[in-house]
Amino acid sequence: MRDPFPPPPPWLVDLTKPYAEALYLPSLPYHIHEVLFAFILYQSTQSLFSPVLSNLFFPNIYPKLTRRTRINWDVHVVSLLQSCLINGLALWVMFNDEERYDMRHSAVERVYGYTGASGLIQALATGYFVWDIVVSTRYVKIFGPGIWAHAITALSVFSLGFRPFCNYYGPVFILYELSSPFLNIHWFCDKLNMTGSKLQWYNGMMLLAMFFSCRLLWGTYQSLRVYQDVWHTMHLNTTIPVYRELHESAHSSIFAPRDGQLCLGQESCILAQTEVMKFAGTHTQAIPVWLAGVYLVSNLVLNSLNFYWFGKMIETVRKRFEDKPTDDFKRNRRASMVEEMATELDHETLSGPKTPIEEKANALATGNAVANDKAGVKRR
């Protein structure tokens, strides 16, 4: 499917091409306007739309927040907008892009292939991470160097899609973000004095379910597929034209180039088919080892973090069942497993390291809790 977004102006394409060629990102000039659009949208949301609308709809809450919390609030608004927008578009592309759907038969096309619609997803994600770098650099004292490094890494990985490289998997890995809306809603529930409400409870259950299914099951499976496809294409002879395999039945197959010959004269089909291998051919170089390494190691690190976070959830659940109920539990409400998990993930991914004041306050609270527990034991 061709890019549904209007094409960039010729002057912008010409301006971008020299830089794209130097970086070997040939499809970037045709999506640079979408990168800029995404960046401007998210920056405007953080700097203008979020403060104005938040003051309008929450006049008794937003103005009273500390500067740090207001910055986090605005960042969460952008994150919520971005995750809803990019997930919706990614699902739409996956269900409607017929050329991308046909790539399921060919590892070559899944790695070297390109469709304008998948390029749109890459561009919007790239624009978001450009904004993320700007914000994490500007507020590095709030978010910490870890968030800044994460933004750099994510931007590097998504930018590789403009070679194009694994363009097929762009919408696939965007679906990691299906759990992000629920995480943001949980955060807003706390700030809107809805902690422990039914909304937060049901949202928390959805957060756990989406995190497990999208990041662990779906993410791990798709990462394995990427590893297989990249390994396969690294051993291809790229000096001959690239062909795709068309499975007509379970027992026969034919090979045909992506040149639109099977479109029977339908113009839209011809244009969409011919762009699939638009950036690949006899001039295409074999996948360098460094490129495969960067992409695969990044996926491995992200998957490892996801399993680590989910392990923390399981540990919290086990502690909940091991603890014996007491009368104090009825009087003193403990944070739920969902609240602890979401708070930890939110702090690690958005808030960054705690400030010295927060560390001191946390240590003081912990000391008071221990003292209260000891006093309770003595009374019993």
Digit-coded pLDDT (tens) for 144-172: 776 777 778 778 878 888 988 888 998 99
What is the pLDDT averaged over residues 340-356? 49
Digit-coded pLDDT (tens) for 119-142: 999 999 999 999 999 998 888 887
Q: For residue 51, what pLDDT band results from cuts at 50, 70 and 90?
A: very high
Q: What percent of the chain has pLDDT over 70?
A: 69
Hey, what amino acid is at 32? I
Arithmetic mean of pLDDT over the chain:
76
Query: What is the rounded CA–CA span in Å between residue 354 and residue 356?
Result: 7
Bridge partners (DSSP) listed for residue 244: 256
Residues in the chain, total: 380
Model pLDDT, residue 324: 43
What is the pLDDT averaged over residues 267-292? 68
Helix ranges restricted to H, the chain: 10-22, 32-44, 50-57, 67-96, 98-102, 107-112, 116-138, 140-159, 170-174, 180-191, 198-210, 219-234, 267-274, 289-322, 327-331, 337-346, 356-379
Q: For residue 111, what pLDDT band results from cuts at 50, 70 and 90?
A: confident
- Looking at the predicted structure, is the pLDDT value of residue 370 above 80? no
Tokens (6 digits) for 183: 């995480």
What is the pLDDT averaged over residues 263-274? 54
Model pLDDT, residue 348: 47
Model pLDDT, residue 304: 78
Q: What percent of the chain has pLDDT over 90?
A: 27
Tokens (6 digits) for 160: 């590789």
- Looking at the predicted structure, is the pLDDT value of residue 37 above 70? yes
Digit-coded pLDDT (tens) for 163-207: 888 889 989 988 888 988 988 888 898 888 887 788 888 888 888
Model pLDDT, residue 367: 55
Q: Which has the higher per-residue pLDDT, 77 or 214? A: 77
| Contact in structure between 146 and 132 (CB atoms under 8 Å) | no
Q: Could you tell me the pTM of the whole model?
A: 0.75
Q: For residue 317, what pLDDT band results from cuts at 50, 70 and 90?
A: very low
- Looking at the predicted structure, is the pLDDT value of residue 24 above 50? yes
Model pLDDT, residue 322: 55
What is the pLDDT averaged over residues 277-282? 70
